[in-house]
């Protein structure tokens, strides 16, 4: 059995040694201070995260996918990030995908042994038919998960670009990925519970990767999520209407009517209004500008 006691994620945190006897207020303050350090740890890997974003954008532009692979909390966070992209950015669900060791049942309950087989990780990559257009992003906060290393190795063999995320040093746990992101958040408040600071760091990095990649693809105008799927619920119809009001200055009823005329597509509605064209013409303009609104609506910003 491998001794993992030397890894950062397994060490005891001196600041939480007596959490079991602290008052609720004392424990809150201690945990809040620990969480605050996650931001600095993520900032320290800016170069690697930015490189990952650039690689992902290139993959999307070539028709490739971003595929997260994780186990336990790491796998759930990858699946969560992937599942939130289509409603937020109206992206094809195939663009960002999540693989979790143990399959979909592992989203709802722990299947701890599922992470121990590198062959299963490799098989998951084969099942996705990964190729040179794709990016495979392995998440293993403790760094040692065999399933993730098996997935990374198989992805590289199939020609994909690879990213590895961990909260331990490469010196202690090396990897074979093209980009290695090591967010060193230090020991957890509850020893070994990487759903805490390590999980927070994972969520922050995944947020940046998909959000900024989608921004570069033109799915955000200014800071508005103009590719939101307004057909999914009333809240998003309201949000789409308000976005049109914000950009155009139209009254709410007129903005809502414009959204209807665009078949619920905020970007199309904005082009229709700005250029005085019908929906098909607006869609052609967007296609000519790779889906980006700035060159169409505001030449100074483009």
> How many angstroms separate the Cα of 90 from the Cα of each of 84, 95, 96, 257, 297?
10, 11, 12, 20, 20
pLDDT in tens, 239-254: 999 999 999 999 999 9
Q: Assess contact for 173 and 4: CB atoms under 8 A.
A: no
SS3 label, residue 191 = coil
Domain boundaries, the chain: 8-216, 234-297
Choosing from 10, 25, 34, 115, the catalytic residue is 115
CATH class of 8-216: alpha beta
- Judge whether 84 counts as a catalytic residue: yes
Whether the pLDDT of residue 181 is over 90: the answer is: yes
For the record, the structure tokens of 171 come out as: 């010196």
pLDDT in tens, 262-287: 999 999 999 999 999 999 999 999 99
Report the share of the chain in percent with pLDDT over 70: 96
Choosing from 84, 171, 283, 300, the catalytic residue is 84
In whole angstroms, give the CA distance from residue 112 to residue 156.
26
Q: CA quadruple 240, 243, 247, 251: dihedral positive or negative?
A: positive
Q: What is the CB neighbour count within 10 angstroms for residue 273?
A: 21
- Judge whether 10 counts as a catalytic residue: no
Whether the pLDDT of residue 212 is over 80: the answer is: yes
In whole angstroms, give the CA distance from residue 36 to residue 49.
19
CATH class of 234-297: mainly alpha
For the record, the structure tokens of 137 come out as: 């992003």
């Amino acid at each position: 059995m491998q001794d993992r006691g030397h890894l950062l994620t397994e060490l005891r945190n001196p600041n939480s040694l007596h959490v079991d006897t602290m008052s609720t207020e004392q424990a809150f303050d201690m945990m809040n201070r620990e969480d605050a350090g996650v931001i600095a740890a993520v900032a320290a890997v800016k170069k690697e995260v930015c490189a990952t974003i650039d690689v992902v954008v290139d993959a999307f532009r070539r028709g490739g996918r971003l595929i997260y692979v994780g186990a336990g909390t790491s796998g759930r966070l990858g699946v969560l990030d992937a599942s939130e992209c289509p409603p937020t950015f109206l992206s094809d669900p195939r663009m960002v995908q999540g693989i979790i060791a143990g399959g979909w049942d592992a989203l709802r309950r722990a299947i701890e042994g599922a992470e121990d087989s590198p062959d299963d990780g490799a098989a998951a990559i084969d099942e996705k038919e990964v190729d040179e257009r794709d990016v495979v992003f392995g998440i293993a906060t403790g760094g040692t998960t065999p399933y993730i290393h098996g997935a990374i190795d198989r992805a590289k063999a199939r020609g994909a670009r690879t990213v590895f995320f961990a909260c331990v040093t490469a010196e202690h746990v090396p990897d074979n990925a093209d980009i290695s992101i090591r967010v060193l958040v230090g020991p957890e408040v509850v020893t070994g519970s990487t759903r805490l600071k390590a999980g927070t760091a994972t969520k922050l990095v995944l947020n940046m990767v998909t959000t900024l990649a989608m921004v570069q693809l033109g799915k955000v105008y200014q800071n508005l999520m103009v590719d939101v799927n307004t057909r999914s619920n009333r809240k998003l119809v309201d949000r789409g209407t308000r976005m049109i009001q914000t950009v155009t200055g139209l009254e709410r009823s007129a903005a809502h009517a414009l959204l209807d005329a665009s078949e619920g597509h905020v970007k199309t509605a904005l082009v229709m209004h700005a250029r005085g064209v019908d929906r098909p013409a607006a869609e052609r303009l967007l296609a000519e500008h790779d889906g980006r609104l700035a060159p169409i609506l505001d030449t100074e910003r483009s």
